[in-house]
Structure formats: C-alpha cells, structure tokens
Amino acid sequence: MNGIHDLGGMHGLGPIAFDEDPAPFHHEWERRVFGMFLPIFSLGIYNLDELRHAIERMGASAYLNTSYYEHWLFAYETMLTEKGTLTRAELDARCAQIAAENC
Amino acid sequence: MSNNHSRPLSDVEIRVKALESLLVEKGLLDTAAVDALIDTYEHKVGPRNGARVVARAWLDADYKQRLLIDGTKAIAELGYTGMQGEDMVVIENTADTHNVIVCTLCSCYPWPTLGLPPTWFKSAPYRSRVVSEPRAVLQEFGLLLAETVTVQVWDSTAELRYMVLPQRPAGTEGLDEAQLAALVTRDAMIGVATVQAPVK
C-alpha cells in the first residue's frame, strides 16, 4: 500500500544530515526502545508485518516529524493497545504520573 | 522522588518510561532482557563483523564464490547469524559496477554484519534520494564515480537484506585477513564509500 513511508523518489526532503558519531544510540530513551524490541516481540502478541504496518499508519506529518525510534515506540503502543495488552487509559495515566514526578 | 533530574523529561522519554514500567508490572517484560539486547548491539555486533566477511572473501576465492551465491550461509560460516540477517544477499563492486544499498520503505539493515544503522541511513533524505539521484547522493558522501561506472541501487524488502562487497584496493597485497578487515569501513559495505589502501 502506498503511504508516507514509501519515500523512494520523493522530492523536497532536504539534504542528508551526516552524523559522524558511530554510536547506535544518542539518547538513553532510544536505548530502551531498541532493547524492548525483542522481549516484547517474543510475547507473540503481534508479528513483524503488523508492527511495520502500525508505523505505516502514522499520519504523514507525524511520520516525517519523528525519529526512527519514535516510530518504533508508536508501533509498540499501537500494537499493545489494539491487541488489548494495555489500554490507552493506562498509558495516559502512567505518563501523567511520571510527568508529575519529574517536573 | 521528584526533582532528581537536571531537566524535565521530554514527552517521548515519559512515554518510554510509562510503557516499560507498565509492562514490567504486568510481568510481561524483564528489564534484564532489555539491557541484554542493548548490550549486544551496542558492544558485540557491528561493522567489524562485516569487515571480516569482506576480508575473507578477498583472500579466499572459494569463500567469495560461496558468499555471492548464498550470502546467508557463507556469513554464517563466520558465526554471524540472527535477527535482520536471515536472508542476506551480497553484491560485488567491480571496476564497471558500483552498488549501494537502501531501505526506502523502512530502514531495514543487515544487523549481524553491520550492526545498527547510522542515523542518516534511516533518514527521509537518504531514503528518498538515493534511488532517484544516486550519483548526486554518493558525491555528497565524497564518492565521485566515473561516468563509465554503472551505479546499481538495491532496495531491501521486508525480509531480504543486502551488503556490498567492496573492491579490494591496490597496494594491499601481502596483508593478512585482520589487516585487510581493518581497512573496511561500514560506509564501504553500504556502498557510499570505497575502501582505501593504508597510507604508507
């Protein structure tokens, strides 16, 4: 299916931003998102194509304005709530609690 | 337990902590498993693996043939297997043809041989442009190819991962496998660079 993720040949996305730092992660949260990939996947709640499809269903502006590991985070949240492992209300409440503790 | 951070957490940091803590509480996630995966890909898997494959292929014609016929199997001979390397195709650069890899739809990358991808490989500008104007993109990487050289761009599918076998530079006769591997860079195996002989 065509979508914003199908970037090949698209114009107007700007120059390539080179990054000389060979480290795979630039923030601690990126590490955690990557590290959760296999443990969550191993629960057998979704398959890899479903996970990719969740990313492909992001809105065009959200897709282009967020980074690679934010795409993964969005996909985990989408899959786990759609499959009933977590509820959106639980996630929202926990986010609010963490925000209140760290402001 | 408030105010133990030097700055407020960003929205994305909060979402990551929320997700991880909820899954741990439900008994669905073990933080040790998260830490183990991070450690593996931060410290144990990386482009040194692919460089060893390349050096072996340069030194051993039989190995090179096996590598080009069945990349997955030949790479596994050196012990490099696992996620994102289940279906490997290795493409050889020659005097006439230069190859470069991309994943336009996602950011698929051969983890067992190259580790995790650099930020630019995952970025919209690289993914969109390398298929439509590869020579211009390669030039931005400092790689100017003669007009007579054909450029081939290889776009990953959901399962298949590519890796470039760069040309062995002249002046490296007599180097052993480890010395050759030390010359091979991540970018050369993506195809946005060539391998340079050591400066004497």
Task: Please report, in tens digits, the pLDDT of each residue of chain B (200 residues total).
Answer: 444 556 889 999 999 999 999 999 999 999 999 999 999 999 999 999 999 999 999 999 999 999 999 999 999 999 999 989 999 999 999 999 999 999 999 889 999 999 999 999 999 999 999 999 999 999 999 999 999 999 999 999 888 999 999 999 999 999 999 999 999 999 999 999 999 998 86
The pLDDT tens digits for A28-86 are 999 999 999 999 999 999 999 999 999 999 999 999 999 999 999 999 999 999 999 99
What ipTM goes with this model? 0.94
Residue in B15, B123, B131 closest to A17 by CB: B123
* B154: β partners: B101
pLDDT at B1: 43
Q: Say yes or no for a CB contact (<8 Å) between B124 and A70.
A: no
Quick check: B151 and B100 in contact, CB under 8 A? yes
C-alpha distances out from residue B155 to A80, B24, B83, B139, B167, Å: 30, 37, 18, 19, 21
Using the Cβ of A18 and the Cβ atoms of chain B, whether some distance falls under 8 Å is answered with: yes
Residue B6: predicted pLDDT:
67
- What's the confidence (pLDDT) of residue A103? 74
pTM: 0.91
Are the beta carbons of B90 and B143 closer than 8 angstroms?
A: no
> Strand, coil or helix: what is B105?
coil
Q: So what's the pLDDT on residue B5?
A: 54
Sequence-distant (≥ 6) Cβ neighbours of residue A103 within 8 angstroms: B2, B8
Place of tokens 């289940």: B86
* Alpha-carbon gap, residue B181 to B48, rounded angstroms: 7
Containing B151, the helix (H) or strand (E) segment is strand B150-155
Q: Is A62 on the interface with B (CB under 8 A)?
A: no
CA distance A36 to chain B (A): 5
**Residues in contact with B39: Cβ distance below 8 Å, sequence separation at least 6, in sequence order:** none
Residue B180 pLDDT? 98
Q: Convert the pLDDT of each residue in B105-140 to its tens digit.
A: 988 999 999 999 999 999 999 999 999 999 999 999
Write out the catalytic residue numbers of B: 103, 106-108
